[in-house]
Chain A
Amino acid sequence: MATAYAAEAIVLRSFRTGEADRVVHLLTPAGRVNVIAKGARKTTAKMGARLEPMTRIEAMIQPGKSDLSTITGAHVQWTGDDLRRDPIRVLAATAGIEAVVRLFPEPEADRRLFDGLARYLVAMTEPLGDDVRVGADVLTLAFVLKLLALAGWRPEVAACVGCGGTVEVFDAAAGCAYCSACGSGIPLDQTSADAVGRLIGEPLGALLELPPAQRAAIVRVCRAMAEEHGGVRLALLGLTATG
């Protein structure tokens, strides 16, 4: 039997299984790990609260014969309880988690992904500007754009890549913006394109307010990139302020 190991981990999601168990999807710096938590749903289980989505833990993992390992212990590093109790922030953070789950399905080591998700979840508990719905939405857009960049799909939108002119459309297949004379694609105005650049370039939480039209345009860009290059749909993105 393989040796048990300790790992820092963020709980992405969990499902009920068996009598009182849970299957938990974890993100560790060494990649995605799926574990079974025996008896985690019992009210006497100490691990139940520690395996709620968005919690950061130090997990003790016993590798199994199959892809499913067993989690034998967990210590909380960050509870995430403040986040989970605010439905607006939870919905936004669920969109961020969805993006991690869909864009990074492989069990590959990526310390930057782990640290980025940890920072994003903490940022989601901090003050989010005058309108929490908008702030949570914009924070999630920034996170998803950074995820796309980390996956190697950074949208190039500073100017039309054909002539250097004003941005008018975004071509997801090419991953870049054009003026209407040089290319075609989904609508993207220059102001929204500039916001994309700022959201990717500035630290998480630096920008928390964007008009609805710009947010909608950026959601379209993120979704188009994820579908075109990752073959995945980001269904929850942008719903916090609109849905």
Chain B
Amino acid sequence: MLPPSAEALVRELTRLPGVGRRSAQRLAVHLLRVPEGDALQLATAIETARARIRPCPECYGFAEDGLCPICRDTRREDNVICVVEAPQDVDPIERSGAFRGRYHVLGGALSPLDGVDPEDLTISQLVQRVERGGIDEVIVATNPTMTGEATAAYIAGLLREHTRITRLASGLPVGGDLEFADEVTLGRALEGRRSIDA
């Protein structure tokens, strides 16, 4: 049985995604055991981030003081936009090192059953960016789920006349064994096969 203030801390921690009561209790006990300064650093970091982080006015990813670091970077290619569902999707693409263009964060995916319509996402802002000109390609990197595919198709329908629209390929993970591939992924990998250049 924890004292009321510790119980309140556990309650707040369980509201975080992926944190159950047991994990929350462990985290709370840890925060109560470490030096006070260390625990308060976490509180300060949360407070500061909440106060400073805003959507980037250009790409709608996370930004601090105006544009996000990627939109501010003048060395990046301005003529390619990679469209992702959420701000956290930018990081894995950046880590791949294979993309040097700009991003656009939609803020979700279309899902009529859950009441997520085009107006709930930053699709009109994407259209405006493309209509301003200078965009040679829009790479739609929404998740390969039903909602992600529907969103990709919707965006392609809006932008097809303005620029080239491409979609991330679906296929086998590098280093994986074919025998363990699922039917849908393998089917798409076969559809998207390419010739081997000599």
Contact = CB atoms under 8 A, between A and B. Distances in A.
Given A44-B173, A52-B146, A94-B113, A79 B18 contact: no
A97 B146 contact: no
B187 to A, nearest CB: 6
Nearest to B176: A44
Contacts of B176: 44
B23 to A, nearest CB: 11
B150 to A, nearest CB: 5
Interface stretch (B25-33, B47-55, B131-139, B178-186): B178-186
A49 B182 contact: yes
B145 interface: yes
Contacts of A175: none
Nearest to B156: A87
A98 B180 CA distance: 33
Contact of A79 (B113, B180, B183): B183
Contact of A90 (B146, B173, B184, B188): B146
A54 B113 contact: no
B91 to A, nearest CB: 14
Contacts of A46: 180-182
Interface in A209-243: 235-236, 239
Q: Is the interface of B mostly helix, strand, loop or mixed?
A: helix
Contacts of A13: 113
Contacts of A97: 113
Contacts of A101: 113
B183 A76 contact: yes
Nearest to B180: A46
Interface residues of A, number: 31
A3 interface: no
B149 interface: yes
Nearest to B187: A81
Contacts of B150: 87, 90-91
Contact of A81 (B17, B157, B173, B184): B184
A105 interface: no
A194 to B, nearest CB: 30
Contacts of B153: 85, 87
B17 A18 contact: yes
B184 A76 contact: yes
Interface string A1-42: 000000000000100011100000000000000000000000
Contacts of A56: none
Nearest to A86: B153
Interface in B89-146: 112-113, 145-146
Contacts of B149: 84-85, 87, 90
A94 B153 CA distance: 15
A86 to B, nearest CB: 8
A48 B182 contact: yes
A179 B112 CA distance: 36
B182 A52 contact: no
Given A50-B183, A84-B149, A90-B149, 7 more contacts: A17-B17, A18-B17, A49-B182, A76-B183, A85-B149, A90-B150, A98-B112
26 contacts: A17-B17, A19-B18, A43-B173, A46-B181, A47-B182, A49-B184, A50-B182, A50-B183, A50-B184, A52-B145, A52-B184, A54-B146, A76-B182, A79-B187, A81-B184, A81-B188, A84-B146, A87-B149, A87-B153, A90-B149, A94-B112, A94-B113, A98-B113, A101-B113, A236-B112, A239-B112
Report the 6 A-B pairs with minimum CB-CB distance, sorted nearest first.
A49-B184, A87-B153, A18-B18, A19-B18, A49-B182, A46-B182
